Structure 1
Amino acid sequence: MIVYEATKGEFCDSVLVGSITDEIYDVYKEKIGRSAKSQIRSWENSMEYMYKVLNDTEIPQDCGVAIEFTIPTTSKRIDFILTGLNQFHDDSVVIIELKQWDSAQKVDGKDGVVRTYLGGGIRETTHPSYQVWSYASLIKNFNQTVEEDEIGLFPCAYLHNYDFTSDDPLKDEIYRPYYDKAPLYGKRDVLKLREFIKKYVKYGDNSDILYRIDNGKIRPSKKLQDTLSSMLDGNREFIMIDEQKIAYELAVKMARESYLDDRKRVLIVEGGPGTGKSVVAINLLVDLMADDMVSVYVTKNSAPRNVFYEKLRGGRHSLCYLKNLFKGSGSFTQSKSNEFDAIVADEAHRLNEKSGLFSNLGENQVKEIINASKFCVFFIDKHQRISLKDYGSIEAIREFAGYFDAEVEQIKLESQFRCNGSDGYLSWLNDVLEIEETANFDGFDFDYDFRVVDSPVELKKLIFEKNANNNARLLAGYCWNWIKEGKNNSDVHDIVIDDFSMSWNLGNSDTWAIDEDSINEIGCIHTSQGLEFDYVGVIIGNDMRFDGEHIVTDFTQRAKTDQSLKGIKKRYKENPEEALQLADEIIKNTYRTLMTRGMKGCYVYCEDMMLQAYLKEKSDFSS
Structure 2
Amino acid sequence: MDTGDLVATLEHRAKRLYTTITKSAERTSWSASIKTVTAVLLEAGLDDVLVLLEMSTLISHKRIDMVLLGSHPRTGTISLVIVENKQWSWMRPNTDTGLVDHPGSPAQGSLHPLDQAWDYGMSLARNLPMLSDNWTCVANLHNAPPEQITSPALPADIDPDRAKMFGAGPQQRRDLAEFLASVISGRRATTHLRALNAAHVRPTDELMRSVPAMVRSRGAFFPLLDEQREAFRRIAHVLDQKFTENDKNVFIVIGGPGTGKSVLALELLGHFNHIGSAAVHASGSSAFAKALRSHVAGARGEAEEIFTYFNQHRHRIRNQLNVLLCDESHRLRKDSNGQYMAREYRSNTPQVHELIDAARVPVFFLDPYQVVRRDEVGTPETIQQAAIQLGIREDNIHQIDLKTQFRQSSCPEYLDWLEDLLGYRDAAPGPWGYQGPFQLLAADNPAEMEAYLRLQVARGRTARMVAGYCWPWTKRASPDGGLVEDIKIDDWECAWNSHAPRKGIPGADTWATDPRGLDQVGCIYTAQGLEWDYCGVIMGHDYTWAGSGWRVQRGEDRMIWGDNLHAMVRNIYRVLATRGRDGTVLYSTNATTRQLLTSLGVPPLAPALKRLKEQNPNVAVRRRAQRLTLF
Q: Name 2:390's counterpart in structure 1.
A: 404
Give, in angstroms, the shift of residue 233 of structure 1.
5.3
Counterparts in 2 of 1:543 and 1:258: CA distance versus 1, 3 Å: farther
Q: Distance in 2 between matches of 1:503 and 1:439?
A: 34
The answer to whether residue 348 in structure 2 is matched with residue 349 in structure 1 is no
Q: Name 1:596's counterpart in structure 2.
A: 578
Counterparts in 2 of 1:542 and 1:256: CA distance versus 1, 3 Å: same
Give, in angstroms, the shift of residue 492 of structure 1.
2.0
The answer to whether residue 318 in structure 2 is matched with residue 329 in structure 1 is no
Q: Name 1:605's counterpart in structure 2.
A: 587
Q: Name 2:466's counterpart in structure 1.
A: 475
For 1:40-439, list aligned pairs within 5 A: 231-232=215-216, 238-257=222-241, 263-312=247-296, 315-319=297-301, 321-358=302-339, 361-362=346-347, 363-406=349-392, 407-436=396-425
**Equivalent residues, number:** 376
Give, in angstroms, the shift of residue 522 of structure 1.
0.6
The higher radius of gyration belongs to 2
Counterparts in 2 of 1:511 and 1:445: CA distance versus 1, 3 Å: same
Q: Which amino acid aligns with 1:504?
A: W
Q: Which amino acid aligns with 1:564?
A: M
Secondary structure of the structure 2 residue equivalent to 1:375: strand
Q: Which amino acid aligns with 2:476?
A: E
Q: Name 2:90's counterpart in structure 1.
A: none
Secondary structure of the structure 1 residue equivalent to 2:409: helix
Q: Name 1:23's counterpart in structure 2.
A: none
Tell me the C-alpha RMSD between the 2 structures: 2.6
The answer to whether residue 511 in structure 2 is matched with residue 518 in structure 1 is no
Q: Distance in 1 between matches of 2:433 and 2:273?
A: 41
Q: Distance in 2 between matches of 1:383 and 1:490?
A: 35
Give, in angstroms, the shift of residue 486 of structure 1.
3.0
Counterparts in 2 of 1:372 and 1:233: CA distance versus 1, 3 Å: same
Give, in angstroms, the shift of residue 621 of structure 1.
8.6
Q: Distance in 1 between matches of 2:408 and 2:602?
A: 18
Say if 2:421 and 2:427, in contact at 8 Å, map to a contact too: no
1:335-360 Cα offsets, whole Å, 9 max, x none, are: 11101100001111110012243186
Structure 2 gap ranges (5+): 1-210, 501-506, 605-631
Q: Distance in 2 between matches of 1:258 and 1:323?
A: 28
The answer to whether residue 499 in structure 2 is matched with residue 507 in structure 1 is yes
Give, in angstroms, the shift of residue 444 of structure 1.
5.7
Counterparts in 2 of 1:302 and 1:258: CA distance versus 1, 3 Å: farther
Counterparts in 2 of 1:494 and 1:271: CA distance versus 1, 3 Å: same
Q: Distance in 1 between matches of 2:356 and 2:236?
A: 17
Counterparts in 2 of 1:523 and 1:235: CA distance versus 1, 3 Å: closer
Secondary structure of the structure 1 residue equivalent to 2:431: coil
Say if 1:490 and 1:503, in contact at 8 Å, map to a contact too: no
Q: Distance in 1 between matches of 2:530 and 2:378?
A: 19
1:553-576 Cα offsets, whole Å, 9 max, x none, are: 111xx11xx2432xx4xx5xxxxx
Q: Distance in 2 between matches of 1:619 and 1:383?
A: 26
Counterparts in 2 of 1:592 and 1:316: CA distance versus 1, 3 Å: closer
Give, in angstroms, the shift of residue 443 of structure 1.
3.3
1:247-289 Cα offsets, whole Å, 9 max, x none, are: 1111111233355665210111111000111101101111011
Say if 2:219 and 2:295, in contact at 8 Å, map to a contact too: no
Q: Distance in 2 between matches of 1:494 and 1:229?
A: 43
Secondary structure of the structure 2 residue equivalent to 1:450: strand
Secondary structure of the structure 1 residue equivalent to 2:449: helix
Counterparts in 2 of 1:449 and 1:410: CA distance versus 1, 3 Å: same
Say if 2:370 and 2:571, in contact at 8 Å, map to a contact too: yes
Say if 1:299 and 1:345, in contact at 8 Å, map to a contact too: yes
Say if 1:401 and 1:408, in contact at 8 Å, map to a contact too: yes
Q: Distance in 2 between matches of 1:270 and 1:245?
A: 14
Identity of aligned residues (%): 30
Give, in angstroms, the shift of residue 309 of structure 1.
2.6
Counterparts in 2 of 1:355 and 1:461: CA distance versus 1, 3 Å: same
**More divergent stretch after superposition (442-451 vs 588-597):** 442-451
Q: Name 2:559's counterpart in structure 1.
A: 564
Q: Name 2:77's counterpart in structure 1.
A: none
TM-score (norm 2): 0.56
Q: Distance in 1 between matches of 2:467 and 2:213?
A: 30
Q: Distance in 1 between matches of 2:427 and 2:484?
A: 42
Q: Distance in 2 between matches of 1:233 and 1:470?
A: 21
Structure 1 gap ranges (5+): 1-226, 572-578
Q: Name 1:614's counterpart in structure 2.
A: 596
Secondary structure of the structure 1 residue equivalent to 2:339: coil
Counterparts in 2 of 1:340 and 1:288: CA distance versus 1, 3 Å: same
Q: Name 2:541's counterpart in structure 1.
A: 542
TM-score (norm 1): 0.57
Say if 1:305 and 1:326, in contact at 8 Å, map to a contact too: yes
